[in-house]
Structure 1
């Protein structure tokens, strides 16, 4: 026990991964490294397929390729790699973007932007070099002029049946001009249209024309879009092309674990990588953002990944109407899943308005259907986190209160209600303690220690607030505490503290200990001892000896001259050193004989066990034998108070005394009694 209590940090085994950034990183750490470049290399199979499909352009044949994938799946990066390959092969590359999210764009904007990358089209185009810059394509100027001069209103022109004769003639002319551009490119023309789910109707109609009547020269069109956000006209046109055999489909699946490892520069068997891969769903954008959240906030690669995600999500949410944004924020407050009724209550919005706005959010692929009748969820948890963080803090607290009231009316379980109590802030009431305590009791058996600790701390803060209000209302001595202001029993917080200690979660353990102590500062020292002593022993068992002693010292000063209780605390303070892996000086242990002259049997038995242990390790075996025999005689005959008891002798220390006795007996070679005392100590620990 003593030898293992204070280990020095070990050195991780296995070879250290080769990192692609300056400096060295600890083995097993996951980081987001150069995400923009890494995404172009991990999808080698898709890049190879795209390159093979583009190949026919060199032979003068036409082809159209549809590239689909969720937001952040790597479509743009893959297209950039394809464009680089095509340029190396001598092809002319034109790249255009769909209209984007920030308002309406001019008709045919993706085609206009793509053609604007060529030379010979005026100073405005030459000022912005891009793929294909430096290439002269004379027919492009005529195509640009015709795109800018449609024969009729663009909205009417884009309709499949509108302006039939003139519209058909116009799109046929555009198709011919595109064919002339392709013919002017000796090794073929690659037209890359990215984010085409945002394209204007005229651009969709022109693409439909190219799909139905492919250009007979070396034009290859690659259209990338998000299938859930693509307009119906685009999906129908592409589907018809697939049936005709004029369109090839490539869908980007989630990354494999090996691809995720390559993207982050980590070994595939790294536990943190598996966790990040699962949480991201194999999405490169989310994967790098999650890795950035886990990494060094000052690392430039991590900062780039976080900004990348925030920028993309901000762009997606920018066009939302006020009602749509309000509904999205209400949904973010509700959590992982929600429905129309809940969003309407939390926003608040009328039911019909909430239904329409959620439909609009589904159309934008911000939310999706979830298992369960009428249930909805966000596309990814990171999107929810982003929207949640963007809301006003005061509005958010009130929204959590509305969510709590709505869910409580629907009979939601305490585990679903407790998060809203915590996040209601100052709007939480003393009555909410009942929700929190019920949630804690349900969370611990389910292994949810972290939320149980958070809810316990919140319940303790509500207790303090209620006590302060009660103190302001009445100052009469001896006023009884009500059910709302009475202290939370240790049967609630002590199991949570022990669970945190068992998991080694020292950060949450320290925070909860502070809350517990703050909630009991008004108690007399004699009553406070039943709170402080078990907390100090648990801290000591976690190796926090100094912190444990810092709890004992002021309490011992306050209880000086109180007899048995002071003696119990003196012995427990020495026990804390042993539990922390440190053997107290024998002189200090021998002083316990003076303190325990009038102590109860549990304290006396514990003091004898400590004296015996000290004698063993100082080589005084005769004294050790006498003390250990006497300690065993006393402790074996004891049956401390029932579980949850908090008597003056500190029954929480009973298991510790048995462990000290077993350790000393083992050092003496008395293995049978040592094993028996260890087993009883474990049984007592489980019991309490």
Structure 2
């Protein structure tokens, strides 16, 4: 697993920054804010810092904000400090005082049996009590206080951090709080980041050399390149994608970036990324968005997930706050922050639920006049198509022939399977075969279903068919046959048909460039 491997060069430099702050905290209290996108490596870096601090004789109190929903006040502080309170003797409470002890008792389970606790302590009293507790735990060797995933914490936690920055606790204390880089973290503005005691460490995607070193040995070169491209330097995604190769190190399927964002994405890994912190509503909304494909609207998510619109909006707000979604140019449409995340979520959803959701997604996309590519990407797998669906598929094929040749080819096959396509559609099919590298199929297809005599053909259609037939021959190494086609000796008509008219012949002897 990636977490068992040594830190990369980039993360070693980040750890050195944190260790320097730990040394500076021996002189005066310090604060570090660690930020980055999901699965960038914040939590692992903090665990590494905790190991280093313990080896240097520091006490370590580490907590993490829990999953969305059901939040209790100061939950991340409770997770970090409750064990220390459970192990404390009476001298700790004597040092912080009876008033502070009564203020802390309702929050910490370790103090649940304490008599004379305040039933509902005043928030500022709790903040002062926590400050006194931190100062006491810092004696004599120092305290490293780690608060992870605080973008899920309530405003009271940021009021506490703000208070600690302006009124540092007594003793040697380094407070490190980490959160995802999310636009919805409005409470993060409470902390005075311009203070000289606050250091901001932003974790960026790994350089390619570092990311390549995290991949297991034995992966095929193409599988390595696909994993590096799709992960974008994010270690957590790289881990998930590396587990998606088949025995022998080969990738499961060769895919383009658009294949991850639209339609049914390829299976990238056996295990999904860690999304256990999502609430049931957030997870259901994420699965619905993954079934729809990028971009999608709140209304289409509600219809696909079978939720009221208000619930779907709350689910999208949660995903937006977790940094999994971003606005697609406006507040009406959304897309996953990374296409690989959408693909992993799609296949992590239950197969039965996903099958039923696809039917609902098609209905929602058909009702959306701007669905466009997301709808066309699903129609190739739809159980039934109407005339409007066929027209949507045909437009998608025309616009995506060169940028998404494999998908265009699948759409063409679905079109030709539903009805006997006209000449223009068959010409498109031959072009898609050539662009996709299926040269022998293109040559055979031209021979089997070439343009018929007296068949209505778009202007220049016979010339275009000949050029692409010749291109397939030439790319196959059959140069003499390609020249014969362009000379007009064959290929401009189906076998056994009359030669085409002079206006239909190719004007030149050579192939067009490209």
Q: TM-score, normalised by structure 1?
A: 0.55
**1:648 and 2:496 aligned:** yes
For the residue of structure 1 that corresponds to 2:145, the secondary structure is strand
- CA–CA distance in structure 2, aligned partners of residues 141 and 496 of structure 1: 83
Counterpart selection for 2:177 from 223, 228, 233: 223
RMSD: 5.0
Q: CA deviation at 1:214?
A: 0.6
Counterpart selection for 1:211 from 131, 145, 165: 165
**1:296 and 2:246 aligned:** yes
Q: Is the 8 A contact 1:39 1:77 kept in 2?
A: no
Q: CA deviation at 1:120?
A: 8.1
Q: Is the 8 A contact 2:443 2:469 kept in 1?
A: no
**1:496 and 2:457 aligned:** no
Q: Which residue of structure 2 lines up, in the alignment, with residue 52 of structure 1? A: 20
Distance 1:175 1:69, change over 3 A: same
Distance 1:373 1:180, change over 3 A: closer
Aligned residues: 459
Please show how residues 245-260 of structure 1 align to structure 2 within 5 Å.
245-260=196-211
Q: Is the 8 A contact 1:498 1:538 kept in 2?
A: no
For the residue of structure 2 that corresponds to 1:183, the secondary structure is coil
Counterpart selection for 1:441 from 391, 394, 398: 398
- CA–CA distance in structure 1, aligned partners of residues 97 and 421 of structure 2: 76
* Gap regions ≥5 residues in structure 1: 1-32, 123-135, 156-161, 464-486, 521-534, 544-577, 582-604, 607-631, 653-678
Q: Is the 8 A contact 2:61 2:80 kept in 1?
A: yes
Distance 1:190 1:371, change over 3 A: same
Q: Is the 8 A contact 2:59 2:144 kept in 1?
A: yes
Distance 1:47 1:435, change over 3 A: same
Q: Is the 8 A contact 1:400 1:423 kept in 2?
A: no
- CA–CA distance in structure 1, aligned partners of residues 53 and 47 of structure 2: 10
- CA–CA distance in structure 1, aligned partners of residues 342 and 83 of structure 2: 37
- CA–CA distance in structure 1, aligned partners of residues 385 and 470 of structure 2: 33
Counterpart selection for 2:356 from 390, 395, 398: 395
- CA–CA distance in structure 1, aligned partners of residues 499 and 101 of structure 2: 87
- CA–CA distance in structure 1, aligned partners of residues 69 and 303 of structure 2: 30
Distance 1:250 1:393, change over 3 A: closer
Please show how residues 450-469 of structure 1 align to structure 2 within 5 Å.
450-463=406-419
Deviations 1:34-85 (A, max 9, x none): 35534565322221111111112334x2111111111111101111222232
For the residue of structure 2 that corresponds to 1:95, the secondary structure is strand
Please show how residues 170-185 of structure 1 align to structure 2 within 5 Å.
170-185=126-141
Q: Is the 8 A contact 2:5 2:214 kept in 1?
A: no
For the residue of structure 1 that corresponds to 2:378, the secondary structure is helix
For the residue of structure 1 that corresponds to 2:380, the secondary structure is helix
**1:73 and 2:31 aligned:** no
- CA–CA distance in structure 2, aligned partners of residues 637 and 326 of structure 1: 56
Distance 1:203 1:493, change over 3 A: same
- CA–CA distance in structure 1, aligned partners of residues 277 and 77 of structure 2: 22
Q: Is the 8 A contact 2:92 2:136 kept in 1?
A: yes
Distance 1:416 1:513, change over 3 A: farther
Please show how residues 115-134 of structure 1 align to structure 2 within 5 Å.
115=81, 121=87
Q: CA deviation at 1:357?
A: 4.6
Q: Is the 8 A contact 1:404 1:417 kept in 2?
A: yes
**1:114 and 2:114 aligned:** no
Please show how residues 507-526 of structure 1 align to structure 2 within 5 Å.
none
Q: Which residue of structure 1 lines up, in the alignment, with residue 103 of structure 2? A: 150
* Gap regions ≥5 residues in structure 2: 109-117, 253-267, 450-467, 501-507
Q: CA deviation at 1:682?
A: 4.3
For the residue of structure 1 that corresponds to 2:25, the secondary structure is helix
**Structure ID, larger Rg:** 1
Q: CA deviation at 1:380?
A: 2.1
Distance 1:455 1:513, change over 3 A: farther
Deviations 1:112-137 (A, max 9, x none): 44346669829xxxxxxxxxxxxx99
Q: Is the 8 A contact 1:443 1:449 kept in 2?
A: yes
Q: Is the 8 A contact 2:485 2:491 kept in 1?
A: no
**1:358 and 2:297 aligned:** no
Q: Which residue of structure 2 lines up, in the alignment, with residue 5 of structure 1? A: none
Distance 1:230 1:196, change over 3 A: farther
Q: Which residue of structure 1 lines up, in the alignment, with residue 189 of structure 2? A: 236
Distance 1:541 1:78, change over 3 A: same
Q: TM-score, normalised by structure 2?
A: 0.71
- CA–CA distance in structure 2, aligned partners of residues 208 and 191 of structure 1: 15
Distance 1:263 1:147, change over 3 A: farther
Q: CA deviation at 1:222?
A: 0.9
- CA–CA distance in structure 1, aligned partners of residues 428 and 304 of structure 2: 34
Q: CA deviation at 1:453?
A: 0.9
Counterpart selection for 2:10 from 21, 39, 42: 42
For the residue of structure 2 that corresponds to 1:336, the secondary structure is coil
Q: Is the 8 A contact 1:112 1:144 kept in 2?
A: no
For the residue of structure 1 that corresponds to 2:236, the secondary structure is helix
Deviations 1:633-687 (A, max 9, x none): xx799744784x21317989xxxxxxxxxxxxxxxxxxxxxxxxxx84747x99x
